[in-house]
Structure 1
């Protein structure tokens, strides 16, 4: 074989490989997005940013189709996942599980049919059911409030906590909160109960706390919706013993209270923006359009919000 012939074959092979790579990269992506319904303001933000991602990304990428499904409970979400897989025939999925344990098998079934799976925020109980995980820093979400409360109370006092729903992220937050309190033996956690990230449920749980405990120094609510429910119950009861109310996720109304400085009980918060669903959809869609994978885990930092930086986290036009 002549040198010229070998060179021609090499060029043809290279061109063929380049064509194959281009073809693989250009394979259409049929992306399903499965999220909880907008039952409270944080989920309203999740829904808003998911739909914004669909609008922006489909306009940018002609080979991308995004189908969004919202569920009011875990059973409905499981059924929707099956529909996305078998009827819509998605080849990629971004899922914000309603609950961790209940959704692990349904998500695993989608992955088993060949879809690339990115799990967002509420992790699964079996990580083999996913390809990638994107979330805020739930350890910091629990650690930062505990450190703030311990410092504000001078290392001594009574605390109650409002948890979300049974999920891996809620466990991470509570574990981190408790880990800080272990270093402050004079701070007593009187009780921690689930309030489902819901204002009305938090209102009821707080009423129970206020009835049972006559001396409470601080409330920690692992979500601003629950914090607002707690505030309503506390104010209605006329309780003056509570020195600190610390929510979470940087809801615009809570950040505004910090900016205005009108409530001495509310001086700080911790960031956890619902916009991470937009980033999760964008990262997944654009990686799959290139035939690439995401890192196994992507964590978006959570930081303390106080008067010094609250302006950076105040978004008056946001639904959350």
Structure 2
């Protein structure tokens, strides 16, 4: 071997050695996409706010982390955004809050099939093989706690109407848990349960229909604080005095403040379900992937009963929700 050849080999080896750390660093970079519903009501406004808080704090703390947030007004738009995150943004990790369960299952599965690590939040998919991890509030407790409270408050008898959210796995879990409790109280009749889409205006229309059709309603399970406010508006406009309790859900600051003030006797309790879990999901996913780790298959954030006695602990006036 000539001196010139030897020198070339040494230079090549030096270049490869210098490049090696950069290659390892590149592999550990996390390009995280976040796909969430748009702020169409106060809960999703909270989701968007907490997601942006996570981006701000985590990118500052981790130079090897990039977070891209997409908000969608419907399932079709979110499916298109997932394609964009994969092809244009070239994400290697995804935190997705599905707009709808069934409609987003295949688009999320396609992302995962490309080697992207997927954390699904709150509204689960219809096929769990399309995800690596799932983070959510306790949806069983979210349905069970109101049912138990209403059954006791009504003395085991009366007429109830319910409002459901959007057709998702979590809505099914809540409704199933509510019905399971009510099976033990045969003198309580669930008159109807229609979708209010977790939306104040939609809930107002559903409640107007209930008030027209049912002459005696003792309690309403609105299953969301935004829907509860729509329900209250419909009741007040109809000047109905038969409805003793309206039970919402998720601990919106306006509802918690109503509990604290005690100004409306129909608002007696709530159940916690904070949108902060999107922050937790983004943080857990980002930090795990930066280390090359995985999350547990399921992480559940507890839901608890909120009453006047403990409401102050759930009141966050600076939050949008």
Q: TM-score under structure 1 normalisation?
A: 0.93
Partner of 2:306: 305
SS in 1 for 2:282: helix
State how 1:1-320 maps to structure 2 within 5 Å. 23=24, 27-320=28-321
Q: Secondary structure at the match of 1:245?
A: strand
How far apart are 1:51 and its partner, in Å?
0.5
User: What is aligned with 2:4?
Assistant: none
Provide the C-alpha distance between the structure 1 equivalents of 2:29 and 2:101, rounded to a whole number of angstroms.
30
Hey, what's the Cα distance between the residues in 2 that align with 1:76 and 1:222? 26
SS at match of 2:102: helix
Q: Is the 8 A contact 1:25 1:290 kept in 2?
A: no
Report how far residue 262 of structure 1 moved.
1.1
**CA RMSD, aligned part only?**
1.5
SS of 1:165 mapped into structure 2: coil
Distance in 2 (CA, whole Å) between partners of 1:26 and 1:127 is 27
Q: Deviations over 1:181-214 (max 9, x none)?
A: 0000000000000011100000000000000000
2-side partners of 1:313 and 1:87: how far apart?
A: 40
Q: Is the 8 A contact 1:25 1:289 kept in 2?
A: no
Give the TM-score normalised by structure 2: 0.92
Rounded Cα–Cα distance in structure 2 between residues aligned with 1:296 and 1:227? 33
Q: Check the 8 A contact 1:31/1:64 in 2, yes or no.
A: yes
| Aligned residue in 1 for 2:5 | none
- Structure 2: state its 5+ residue gaps: 1-19
Q: Deviation at 1:222?
A: 1.2
CA–CA distance in 1 between the matches of 2:232 and 2:127?
37
* Partner Cα distance (1:147, 1:24) in 2: 53
Deviation by residue 1:115-147 (Cα, 9 ceiling, x = unmatched): 000000000000000000000000000000000
Would the aligned equivalents of 1:25 and 1:291 in 2 still touch at CA under 8 Å? Answer: no
Cα deviation for residue 175 of structure 1 reads 0.3
- 8 Å Cα contact 1:269/1:304 also seen in 2: yes
Aligned residues: 302
CA distance in 2, matches of 1:216, 1:43: 30
> Structure 1's 216 and 77: CA in aligned 2 closer, same or farther, altered over 3 A?
same
Q: For the Cα contact (< 8 Å) 1:24–1:291, is it kept in 2? A: no
How far apart, CA to CA, are the structure 1 residues paired with 2:157 and 2:257?
29
4+ long deviations beyond 2 Å? 22-26
Q: In structure 2, what is the Cα distance between the partners aligned to 1:24 and 1:148? A: 53
